Structure 1
């Protein structure tokens, strides 16, 4: 059992980037942190960062797309620590391709990691939180969960889906003392871009080649000026531990402005007008 009675946080996708720094920051704030990742042989960066911060994290293996493993992980945490007070659904993966370039298998892969994984884990922790009359489920989505973006069809589709699920769930769980929220980063300096799925033919010559070239150039500029993983993680930790409830959080002022454009866009023209310029012409 948890020897000191601190709140217990379960964080997914902690081998690098926002997840790594979120796990460390929550531990620094006094929570007992179970930090999960697909491959625990990659845990050195996390454990080194925790040591530098003077904290410890409990590293466990979890592939969020393996729902049997997710159940086993949650059951083990409850058996070992007695509770889960905070779930941070952070694990995710991007994909660069437009509809014709995507196989249905690639679309399903995005749904598995970005939608079904968080949904499955959320379902597993809700009974204990409901019975306790308290708890927080925070899902790290993206500004792409509110703003559809070119060549992110499958990724944004999955992020829109998980935001819709969580927003529908949120009002029900409030009556049971459980806070269900999403947090939407914009571009963040992390390994996310390196892990983006790109079908083999995405850069091939074809009807979308010039648009894709322009999009990739624009994206490179955005990530060159990205928010640091540490800053994004601090915002995630703030949202995960806040006693002031709201459903939707962002990690930066830029993310707030970008998401706000879509949420006020009742006919869709503002988003299409903004994103059309991303792909109209290739850079010189």
Structure 2
């Protein structure tokens, strides 16, 4: 196990940081990447406190830059001679709606949350085939259930889900196992990093302002009872080591129940009632 190497994206905070620690605890040589390595202090401190510093190699990787992705993957293989697993974790939230978001806003969300996953997976797959490895992508319950004021984010995560679900059986013919991990609300900096000014956003929402205020109140309640990043990360680490990993797995009972509404909802009415209730 000590020779196995995993590359993880988006490890400066939250689930990504905990995935890096969890992989190192499990004995993996862990390459923890982030766009800005100046934000690595928290991971370094946590790794040092846990006695894992020797197993965690922090490197720069910007998932929106194909050159950065290719260079990082090749450097990792050059250093360790192998790449056994990749965890696509880097992502960014976004709150907005069709009439307020520009097309550039939507493209930016897609670049990070969808095309970033493709860039990393494409660069890694030849090396993963050589090791009959794992490709794990942190998606979201928002990749199954469309949510108001999250159109762009959910569209990106829906795209990730469709792409990886389609890729999974093909990759399996070459020995690579593909898994989607779907967290619900997680108590991390993910929401804070969206940078919402609730008052300004409500004013900008125009006719949708009452619905937005109700949505933000409901979201605040959901995140007040959120799962911890370490709990969500444990599901990712388990997917890396499970001899027969699932194609899709949720990180909590709440996430399973939420996704289950959609998967049993052939005409969409149950989801519409559920998410419509958030706006009342």
Counterpart of 1:266 in 2: which secondary structure? Answer: coil
1:242-281 deviation digits (Å, cap 9, x = unpaired): 112210011111101111111121111111111000002x
State the match for 2:27 in structure 1: 30
State the match for 2:95 in structure 1: 96
What TM-score comes out, normalization by structure 1 length?
Answer: 0.94
1:28-82 deviation digits (Å, cap 9, x = unpaired): 0000000001111111110111112211210001111111100000010011111
State the match for 2:213 in structure 1: 213
State the match for 2:164 in structure 1: 166
Counterpart of 2:145 in 1: which secondary structure? Answer: coil
Please give the alpha-carbon distance, in whole angstroms, between the structure 1 residues aligned to 2:171 and 2:3: 23
What TM-score comes out, normalization by structure 2 length?
Answer: 0.95
Contact 2:2 2:28 in 1 (8 A): no
Contact 2:13 2:188 in 1 (8 A): yes
Residue 261 (1) aligns with residue 261 (2):
yes
Deviation at residue 131 of structure 1 after TM alignment: 3.1
Structure 1 residues 68-87: aligned runs within 5 Å: 68-87=67-86
State the match for 2:227 in structure 1: 227
Of 43, 48, 62, the residue aligned with 2:40 is: 43
Residue 186 (1) aligns with residue 157 (2):
no
State the match for 1:157 in structure 2: 155
Change beyond 3 A, Cα 1:180–1:197: farther
Deviation at residue 95 of structure 1 after TM alignment: 0.5
Please give the alpha-carbon distance, in whole angstroms, between the structure 2 residues aligned to 1:54 and 1:60: 19
Of 4, 13, 22, the residue aligned with 1:7 is: 4
Please give the alpha-carbon distance, in whole angstroms, between the structure 2 residues aligned to 1:259 and 1:210: 26
State the match for 2:270 in structure 1: 270
Please give the alpha-carbon distance, in whole angstroms, between the structure 2 residues aligned to 1:199 and 1:117: 27
Please give the alpha-carbon distance, in whole angstroms, between the structure 2 residues aligned to 1:231 and 1:129: 26
Please give the alpha-carbon distance, in whole angstroms, between the structure 2 residues aligned to 1:221 and 1:113: 27
Deviation at residue 176 of structure 1 after TM alignment: 1.0
Structure with higher helix content: 2
Contact 2:62 2:69 in 1 (8 A): yes
Please give the alpha-carbon distance, in whole angstroms, between the structure 1 residues aligned to 2:234 and 2:245: 17
Contact 2:136 2:181 in 1 (8 A): yes
Q: CA RMSD in A?
A: 1.5
Contact 1:93 1:197 in 2 (8 A): no
Contact 1:101 1:199 in 2 (8 A): no
Please give the alpha-carbon distance, in whole angstroms, between the structure 2 residues aligned to 1:122 and 1:198: 31
Deviation at residue 202 of structure 1 after TM alignment: 3.0
Counterpart of 2:266 in 1: which secondary structure? Answer: coil
Residue 114 (1) aligns with residue 113 (2):
yes
Structure 1: stretches of 5+ with no match in the other structure? none
Change beyond 3 A, Cα 1:264–1:155: same
Contact 2:2 2:27 in 1 (8 A): no
Of 14, 19, 29, the residue aligned with 2:16 is: 19
Structure 2: stretches of 5+ with no match in the other structure? none
